[in-house]
């Protein structure tokens, strides 16, 4: 019985390491694509960013977090940065826009 438990722990550790590697690979690829001087790379950037979000959520799950907990932390972080008048919010209003979008998803 202990062997099965040990195998599950090893499998989870390997999965966490694999997800971390995939996340770093995606980040490196994002940097590479952003350096390119192409006007038509928005779709590619969107796909990379969505993959980074997906990998981040899966990694969070593997280290014991719930998706709900991650999104609650995200929501609280956005609200806190709006209150603190984060530069991105002051300059562009991006955080308020994101908060409105997340509120629409919850409804």
What are the tens digits of pLDDT across the range 42-57?
Answer: 999 999 999 999 999 9
What is the reported pLDDT for 73? 97
**Alpha-carbon gap, residue 91 to 73, rounded angstroms:** 23
> In this structure, are residues 81 and 89 in contact, taking their beta carbons and an 8 Å threshold?
yes
**Which single residue is written with the structure tokens 């969505």?**
50
Residue-wise pLDDT tens digits, 52-97: 999 999 999 999 999 999 999 999 999 999 999 999 999 999 999 9
- Among 64, 63, 51, 60, smallest CA distance to 23 is for 51
Tokens of 87: 């530069």
> In this structure, are residues 26 and 55 in contact, taking their beta carbons and an 8 Å threshold?
yes
**Which single residue is written with the structure tokens 């994101």?**
98
> In this structure, are residues 23 and 52 in contact, taking their beta carbons and an 8 Å threshold?
yes
Give the pTM. 0.87
């Amino acid at each position: 019985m202990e062997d099965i438990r040990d195998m599950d722990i090893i499998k989870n550790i390997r999965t966490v390491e694999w997800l971390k590697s995939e996340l770093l690979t995606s980040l490196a690829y994002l940097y590479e694509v952003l350096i390119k001087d192409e006007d038509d790379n928005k779709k590619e950037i969107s796909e990379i960013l969505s993959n980074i979000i997906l990998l981040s959520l899966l990694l969070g799950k593997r280290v014991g977090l719930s998706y709900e907990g991650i999104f609650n932390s995200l929501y609280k972080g956005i609200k806190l940065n709006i209150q603190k008048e984060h530069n991105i919010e002051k300059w562009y209003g991006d955080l308020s826009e994101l908060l409105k979008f997340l509120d629409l998803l919850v409804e």
